[in-house]
Structure 1
Amino acid sequence: MDMQGRTHIELQELLGLRHYVQHIELFSTPLQRSTLLGLHRSRLRGRGMDFDQVRAYQIGDDSRSIDWRVTARTGEVHTKVFHEERERPTFIVAEQSLHLFFASTGCFKSVLVAQVASIFAWASLQHNDRVGGLVFDDNGVTHTPAHRSQHSVLHFIQALADANQRLQQTMSQDLKNPLIEALQQALRLTRTGSLIILICNERHLNDESSHLLRRLAAQAELILLPVSDPLEHCLPTIGPARFALADSSTSIDTHNPRLRQQWQEKGAAYQAAWQNLAQQLGAALLPLSTQFGALEQLQAINLQQVLGTQAGS
């Protein structure tokens, strides 16, 4: 991959990811149990009804649902049973802030987020769900209302590409945690019963963002995808090193054993915090790393196993 592909991603590349959805089992076909959260029948899609089964007639059943063919064949009155057609609007909250404009290996975290968010958007549309979301950066939030249409997905992906292309190392500003505003917006914009897919910087989790995620979990299903880089969890021994962000920089001695231990402990603390929160919320936790490609990581996902483990804990 060239340097442009590592640091930024074009709209055309995000559009092309739709061709890979069939190779990633994020959602099952309608005839199978959903691989992505076995909860798809827990939300309504209006007044539509799908045929479920035929069983013996019981007092109180609607006589209009009697299956006369089966009744004539068996000599016993049978009725058709229907279940309500379900909907789970998918709302993708994806970060494109300067916090993600970094990687020690592979593509930048911002590129990885854009790729994963696009794949989830295409997969949701293919699964016939309404798709929308928020793209947030250091300057605010771009909202795409959820609709069951390719136009909605294209609008969301365009917002991703635009925000990604705006990122540049020379940006000079007092960086804050942009996740807070994004979650506040999500609380206002998402409807009860939505599926919220959050793809953000691993280090944005704090008391305030945790509180907002708890509020979201009370009204929606959550999939949490915190993004990190290997360097954030293990400091390589390379001697004196200088780190720069916008107009500020700092130098450290990577040979310092105490510094290396503190560095590793801080990374592990963020991982543990996400794990604890996901367990408390009953949410799927799928950490992402710049060490691996987006397709490789999504192909390795087994959400049923993740959710089953959390349910039994």
Structure 2
Amino acid sequence: MCAFLRGGGHSRGGARDARKRADRKKPRSNEPNGDAGMLPAEILQRVRRLEIHTKALVSELFAGQYHSVFKGQGMEFAEVREYVPGDDIRTIDWNVTARLGVPFVKKYSEERELTVFLLVDASGSQRFGSEGRSKMELAAEVGAVLAFSAINNHDKVGLLIFTDRTELLIPPRKGRAHGLRIIREILYNRPEGRRTDLAAACETAIHALRRRATVFLLSDFLVDPGPVDQPLGALARKHDLIALAMRDPLEASWPKVGLVEWEDLESGRSFLVDTTDAGVRGKLEANYRRQREQVAAMLRRHKVDQVPLEVGGDPVEPLQAFFRLRERRRARE
């Protein structure tokens, strides 16, 4: 049923057009320099336009919010000093205390450097879009905003593109050139897989990230939550996990356009749907809502914030709303 839901609303023509848009060169080497000089001028122009657009968003709309929301969420060890009355006994360093014979406590300082990690779903369903762009293109724009925010704050940023396999893994690093490469890869990467294995992607991210990071998971989440529950929970416990859910309105509300042949972009299966039948449309839409509710329940269970982003909408407002929510939450802590 999940494969059917992923194909829901994806017409054969729309799927073919989406495949043409995605028909680009295969992923390049994971080495930092890659073969950027071989990129077509069209792709370089797209990256440049996206850079100009997102840099304006970062400087004008997210000024200060990124820093206040995500900076200093972790603590790193600084030194030990002798215990004084009033110190929290939970900070006592028992090894040093035993060695010196007097109590010593550990001192911590706020981490000055943040690691941002983009976990991007590039499966077939992400190539669908009914509002002038695909969910993958929306993910690229949002990923660019987050990457430039990290760059402007001198943070590290990394990328994992996945389908039912790891398509590309770029370890977190600093620098504008590195950030531009990440944006280029989201735009230009041609995945070999079509299906989704979100559980495996979560496990890969856990092994790839040695230090605590802020992980943005960009996906349409059209998956069976059962196999995903445990690895996603493990990722959320180890890192600050935020789910950015790509949505297309056509998937939630089917149009009344007669008898149509649809194709599942992940399995390649096609089937006929009579969209004039209100009962058929109602069943498909109910299945879609139920699947969304199951995923939302899983995210709540693991205390993962979910930010819904619509393909036809502007991602700025929901991102700002999320930043404001995080600020209020931190103020109460």
TM-score category (smaller protein): 0.7 to 0.9
Which residue pairs with 1:67 in the alignment? Answer: none
- Identify the structure with the greater strand proportion: 1
1:187 counterpart (194, 206, 211): 206
Equivalent positions of 1:171-182 (< 5 A) are: 175-182=194-201
**1:42 is matched by which residue type in structure 2?**
Q
Deviates more, 1:120-129 or 1:109-118: 120-129
Q: Is the 8 A contact 1:199 1:224 kept in 2?
A: yes
Which residue pairs with 1:104 in the alignment? Answer: 130
State yes or no: 1:25 paired with 2:45. no
- Report the Cα distance in structure 2 between the residues aligned to 1:14 and 1:202, rounded to whole angstroms: 25
Normalised by the length of structure 1, the TM-score is 0.73
Change (3 A) 1:82 1:158: same
**2:57 is matched by which residue type in structure 1?**
Y
- Report the Cα distance in structure 1 between the residues aligned to 2:323 and 2:296, rounded to whole angstroms: 15
Which residue pairs with 1:143 in the alignment? Answer: 169
Structure 1 residue runs of 5 or longer lacking an equivalent are 49-57, 62-80
Deviates more, 1:193-202 or 1:130-139: 130-139
Percentage of identical aligned residues: 21
1:230 counterpart (249, 260, 263): 249
Which residue pairs with 1:14 in the alignment? Answer: 50
2:271 counterpart (243, 250, 274): 250
- Report the Cα distance in structure 2 between the residues aligned to 1:271 and 1:245, rounded to whole angstroms: 18
Which residue pairs with 2:223 in the alignment? Answer: 204
State yes or no: 1:43 paired with 2:96. no
Which residue pairs with 1:69 in the alignment? Answer: none
Q: Is the 8 A contact 1:106 1:292 kept in 2?
A: no
**2:72 is matched by which residue type in structure 1?**
R
Q: Is the 8 A contact 2:74 2:110 kept in 1?
A: no
- Report the Cα distance in structure 2 between the residues aligned to 1:249 and 1:264, rounded to whole angstroms: 18
Which residue pairs with 1:284 in the alignment? Answer: 305
- Report the Cα distance in structure 1 between the residues aligned to 2:305 and 2:64, rounded to whole angstroms: 14
Residue 121 of structure 1: CA displacement? 0.8
Change (3 A) 1:194 1:177: same
- Report the Cα distance in structure 2 between the residues aligned to 1:187 and 1:291, rounded to whole angstroms: 32
**SS of residue matched to 2:243:** strand
- Report the Cα distance in structure 1 between the residues aligned to 2:131 and 2:196, rounded to whole angstroms: 24
Change (3 A) 1:97 1:24: farther
Which residue pairs with 2:295 in the alignment? Answer: 274
**1:198 is matched by which residue type in structure 2?**
L
Residue 133 of structure 1: CA displacement? 1.9
Equivalent positions of 1:70-149 (< 5 A) are: 83-137=109-163, 140-149=166-175
Change (3 A) 1:273 1:127: farther
Change (3 A) 1:142 1:205: same
Q: Is the 8 A contact 1:104 1:229 kept in 2?
A: yes
- Report the Cα distance in structure 2 between the residues aligned to 1:295 and 1:29, rounded to whole angstroms: 13
RMSD: 3.5
State yes or no: 1:305 paired with 2:325. yes
Count of residues paired in the alignment: 267
**SS of residue matched to 1:134:** strand
**2:322 is matched by which residue type in structure 1?**
N
**2:56 is matched by which residue type in structure 1?**
H
Structure 2 residue runs of 5 or longer lacking an equivalent are 1-16, 23-42, 88-106
Q: Is the 8 A contact 2:299 2:306 kept in 1?
A: yes
**2:167 is matched by which residue type in structure 1?**
V
**SS of residue matched to 2:72:** helix
Q: Is the 8 A contact 1:242 1:252 kept in 2?
A: yes
**SS of residue matched to 1:202:** coil
- Report the Cα distance in structure 2 between the residues aligned to 1:136 and 1:29, rounded to whole angstroms: 26
Provide Cα deviations, 1:145-191, integer angstroms capped at 9, x if missing partner: 1123223212212221221xx37xxx9x7x43242332221011013
**2:74 is matched by which residue type in structure 1?**
R
Residue 102 of structure 1: CA displacement? 1.0
